[in-house]
Structures are given as C-alpha cells and as structure tokens.
Amino acid sequence: MLKDYSGKRNFSRTPEPGPEQQPEAEGPLTFVVQMHAARRLHYDFRLEVDGVLKSWSVPAGPSLNPDVKRLAVMVEDHPLDYASFEGVIPAGQYGAGQVIVWDEGDYSPDEEGKFHFADRQKAQEQMREGLAKGKLSFSLRGNKLKGSWTLVRMKSGPEQWLLIKHRDDFASSTIDILGKNASVASGLTIEDIKSGRKPDSPPFSSAKLSELPGVIQAPFPAIESPMLATSAGAPFSNPDWLFEPKLDGYRTIAMVQNGKTRLLSRRGQDVTAKYSGVVEGLRRQPAAQLALDGEIIALDERGKLCFQCLQSYLETMNRANIQDHNITAIIYYVFDLLYLDGYDLHNVPLVLRKRALERVLYPSKQVRFLEHFEGDGVAIYQSAVGQGLEGVIAKQKHSLYRPGQRSADWLKIKSTQTDDFVIGGYTEGTGNRGRTFGALLLGN
C-alpha cells in the first residue's frame, strides 16, 4: 500500500518517516493538514484509513467558505508516522522544502448526520465506500478546522477532487483560516523552519486519544462528581500554573451519551430540565460519549455576569422566560474534559485535557470553551477583578482530576470587599437552600 511512497524517496537522505505500515490503532480516526513549501506552497490534507494516510495536495489550502471549491489532487498514501513530521526535506529529494503540522485532529464520516468517532470499524467501512464512489463526507475535530466537509472526485480524472466546506456553524465567507499560519504541534511557522529553527521538543499530538499519558479505556461513567478547589489568600505567579476567570454561576457536570444529555449539579442532582438551550448545544457535539465539567452562568441586558438573574430565572422558570428577568443568554462555559468516546481522561494532565477539549468542543451560543491564561498570575487576577469578576481559579498545569475531592492543585482566589450593613430581613430559601434563607435585605 506504501509502494508508491517508498519508490519516490531515498530514506538515507530524507528525514521523512520510512514506509513501515503501522499496526491497527485504537480510538477515533485521525487527520492532519501539513503546510508544505515545496516548489510552490501548498497544503497536504491527509485522512487515516486502514492503517495509512490517504492524501490530497490542496494548492490553495482549505477554505471555510462553502461557495469556494478547492482543487485537491490525490497523491500517494503516506505512513501514519508522517502525521507528526515537521522539518526540511533536502534539496534533490521528492517534495524538497519545509513542512509544518498546520492542523491535526480526529474525524468521522458523517453521512446522514451520524458520527462514528467511537467505532473505527464502521468509520473505515464508510470511508472505503466513499472512496470507491468518489464522494466523502466527514466531520473534523481539529484545532483550526472543525465541522463538516466533503471531498468530491471530478470527472476529469481519478486524482482530481474538490475539497468543500459544508454549510454549518463553522462555515464563513469572511474568516481567512489560512491566516493562522503557525504549527499546532510546535508553534513554528514555515519562515521559522527556513531560518533554521527547530522545535524545542518532539511534537506531541492530542489527536490520538489512545496515546495521551494516563488515559485508559473504560465504560462510560454513570455519574461524575466535580473536583473542588481550595481557598487561597492572595494571587501569585508561577509558570507551572494556569489561571481561569472565576465565574459566578452554578457548577455543572454534563454527561452526553448517544445523543442523550444529562446535566448534574455539584451535589449530583439532575438539573437537565432547567437548561433546555444548553442541552440543545450539547446534543450537537460531535461525540458518541462525552463527560464535561463547567459552569452555567447568565448574562444580563448589558452582557454582564448576573448570578441574581440566574437565581431568579430558576425560581420562576415554570412561570416566566429568560427575557422576563432581563437575561440575554444562559451559557455553559466548559473548562474540563473527563471522558471522550470510550476513554477516561481523569489521569491525563490538565494541560493535555484542556488541549483535547478545545480541539473537540464545537462552541455555540449556549456552550463555550472557557479560556485560560498563563503568565503573570497577579496581573491576570487584577484584570479579572477589574472586569467585575470574583477573581480567578489557579490550576496546576499537570494536575490530575480527582472527582469529589478538594485539592490544593486547584486554588480559588477571590476578591474580598467588606463593609458594615444592617440586616433588615430575609427571604426563604429554595432548592439547595430550602432549609436556610435565600437572600438578605441589607441597609447601611
């Protein structure tokens, strides 16, 4: 299957991977797009099928505009190891020039809107049928390329195909995706490679779930309990930590299995019925099995976080709608990935869980990825407080997820403001506060 690949290369002179075919892998099928500055700059689009990378050369690169049809010339199959290749193919060798991993991820055929991320056999069966028919439809979970795409063979010849973006939430006639020109593996650009720069470490791929350190194959969990943070007194800076804005909402675990979604509160109560919009956003996620950790928040008419608005909405949700409480949106901000398509990620280091989460999550109006920041933790904290947030959550980059435990690997750093008030009354508590009070009436 790799005879053509081997026949075009002298492996004593090129650093490209040899033609050895890899054993059958586990987990979802993978894809890679490599930016290749040969005689002409082009993009090599590669899909894993039956132990090799089916490959197309796309001269103009992929476009997010469904009205733009990119020529894709089918070339020889490449070995799976080629997906991580970055560097220089020497002069005089086939394809001489610089190569970077422009994008990578996993994918599934999506005929009739059905995904097979957790079923390699079914996915490859559909890909074989599509290759024979000359039409492939598939969904990508990449760092840059997401959503549904198609490859269609032209009548002008068996190697001539068209790469086209389907119309979905990721289609755009204005975004130039090629402007993001750095490698997702090393952060280097083609110009960096030309100047002699090399990656600081071997490129690591989050696309292969089965190869993430600490990952295990396991049944889908029946329930999840959130990991909890320990209080810290003051902000700090440390390169081994990352920082998330502390949101004022309700901690929520999302369990998605075969199109059915359950939302669980911090104490394990089923709150699915309270957030229909969030459920719809999760239903559209391209995964057979998914467990997420995050926070549900509400935005007021000014677009600001409003915990009181969310409380009021939940207390009267059977008698009112969002607009009655001046809420413009209820959003589930996701910050952790606990389970994905047959794989338990609890023992995967946090920074790699986040990298995988950002790649696989399809953001929408109701479901979004919570950005995190690295660097000066004190400045990040001050910026968060300056924007009206409570503070930040500091997390050790290599921390593992410990369900239900309060850990010093996660620290909540809140802005505390004090003053003297007179308590004039209170309201009865509802929900989790049913045995206490709901709110205080204060004066000064």
Structure tokens, 105: 């991820």
Listed residue (277, 316, 320) closest to 297, CA to CA: 277
What's the CA gap between 190 and 155, in Å, rounded? 34
For residue 246, indicate whether it is catalytic: yes
What's the CA gap between 312 and 436, in Å, rounded? 17
DSSP conformation letters of 340-378: ETTEE-TTS-HHHHHHHHHHH----SSEEEPP-B-S-HH
Asked whether 411 and 393 are in contact (CB, 8 A), the reply is yes
∠ at Cα 244 (361, 414), nearest 5°? 145
Amino acid at 359: R
How many C-beta neighbours within 10 Å does residue 222 have?
A: 7
* Helix residue ranges, H only, 268-349: 276-283, 307-315
What's the CA gap between 30 and 411, in Å, rounded? 35
Catalytic residue among 144, 246, 354, 395: 246
343-344 and 260-265 strand pairing: unpaired
What's the CA gap between 327 and 138, in Å, rounded? 37
Three-class secondary structure of residue 128 per DSSP: helix
367-369 and 327-340 strand pairing: parallel
Please give the positions annotated as active site.
246
